[in-house]
Amino acid sequence: MGKATGFLEYKRADGPVRPEEERIADFHEFHGMLPQAARQEQAARCMDCGIPFCQAGVLLNGMASGCPLHNLVPEINDLVYRGRMEEAYRRLSVTHSLPEFTSRVCPALCEAACTCGLHDEPVATKENERAVIEYAFEHGLVESRAPAVRTGKRVAVVGSGPAGLSAALYLNRRGHEVTVYERSDRIGGLLRYGIPNMKLEKYLIDRRIALMEAAGVTFVTKADVGRKIPAGQLMKEYDSVILCCGASRPRDIDVPGRDAKGILFAVDFLSRVTKQLLDSDHKSIPYELAENKDVIVIGGGDTGNDCVGSCIRLKAKSVTQLEMMPKPPEGRTAENPWPEWPRVLKTDYGQEEAIRSFGKDPRIYRTTVKEFLKDEGGRVTGAVLIGLEPVRDEKSGRMVMKPVEGSERTVSAGLVLIAAGFLGSEKYVTDAFGVETDGRTNVKTEPGGYAASVENVYTAGDMHRGQSLVVWAIAEGREAAEAADRDLMMR
């Protein structure tokens, strides 16, 4: 696909990025796009590789390899290379409902499995996808698509994150009457309040919601199902219910001093920042959260990185990011061959900005908090850090990180953000619907299925599989909707 010799003729080129010193002055998107001719060259790098691992979406050694949506990447890249952007959009739309989101926030599982990446830089498929969907919006190709015939069946989708939106979009197109319930004040779930604006501008969500509303989907905000709205009411009023509430219980840090003021969960912090920006149309920036403060971010993942980038924009005095695990290698090891997901060192935008602002990488590896310190008013003033070392557990045989006695040191902190992941679904929701859960509190289904233990109740996304990626949530939303649709049409 693409140009047969393109991968030999062209080097990878990504879209322009605003320099760190400029972009940290605002919360707007900083990744630009290449001109059309340059984008076609990038698509030309997609080689006729025989086996397109990029679209496999399988698990290798417990990690995803290739796109979970099974986007036909070589076909799309070929159409982009030939300048047939409308056809590229039509091809992408067959498998993907919401590419404007994944083309910005997905870690690009397709690129990690790209054959071109075995010896060279992978094809810039993620940016190609963004070019396709933005071309489609610009040229009026993304339509509301109201169904010509309604089935008379009603479906409630609980949660408006990527899984909920994906499910609602599919079910509405199938002719069912769909209502999406969101407990927050705005639609979008994780997309709205869990991902900062500079990674995902919120007008992108509003743009999609407007199309879905025009197509007949109903959205209800400030609707906390399981508390304000009884689960029984939904099960009575609707033919099916799909639970897409995410894995929204954050993992805590149980150490002395945890009750100090100024220690926040990352998701609460990011939500507060985004909400104030949206409420004020970006005229009011919550500098008071981090300005002139020494900030500690606990967690080395994407959410931790988002906290680093946000705190720099809020004029933090310093930012330190703690990572329990050892520093990853610079390149693949023999135990991590292609096309497995590469377990290698990644320096993301937040770390880049910290290096530019403070002169060093904010990450400290093999380290955690032993104790938080606070003043007489109960506000956090510092933290006692302790080093960790990998030790093999005698019972399980697994490597675990154990504290190194004598390695303690004290650092200053005026704000602590806990970005240590999530434990699973909200218990009050699963209890309200009476669905079974597994050992990780995810809604239990048959392997490969989406039907919960309660009749006519389905689940998708993080609430089903645990904390994961936006692309997996979109894929599961589509599949859960297909399962619900099949059952609805058989009644």
pTM over 0.75: yes
CB 101 within 8 A of CB 472: no
Do 6-138 and 263-418 share a fold? no
Instruction: Give the tokens for residue 170.
Output: 């599919």
- In the chain, what are the domain boundaries? 6-138, 154-248+423-489, 263-418
User: How many Cβ atoms from other residues are within 10 Å of residue 41's Cβ?
Assistant: 21
All residue ranges of the chain with pLDDT < 50 are none
**In this structure, which topology does domain 6-138 adopt according to CATH?**
Fumarate Reductase Iron-sulfur Protein; Chain B, domain 2 (1.10.1060)
pLDDT of residue 399: 86
Domain spanning 263-418: CATH superfamily: FAD/NAD(P)-binding domain (3.50.50.60)
pLDDT of residue 3: 86
Q: Which CATH class is domain 154-248+423-489?
A: alpha beta
Give which of 330, 302, 335, 271 is closest to 108, Cα–Cα. 302
C-alpha distances (whole Å) from 176 to each of 155, 171, 197, 206, 301 are: 7, 6, 33, 22, 38
pLDDT of residue 1: 60
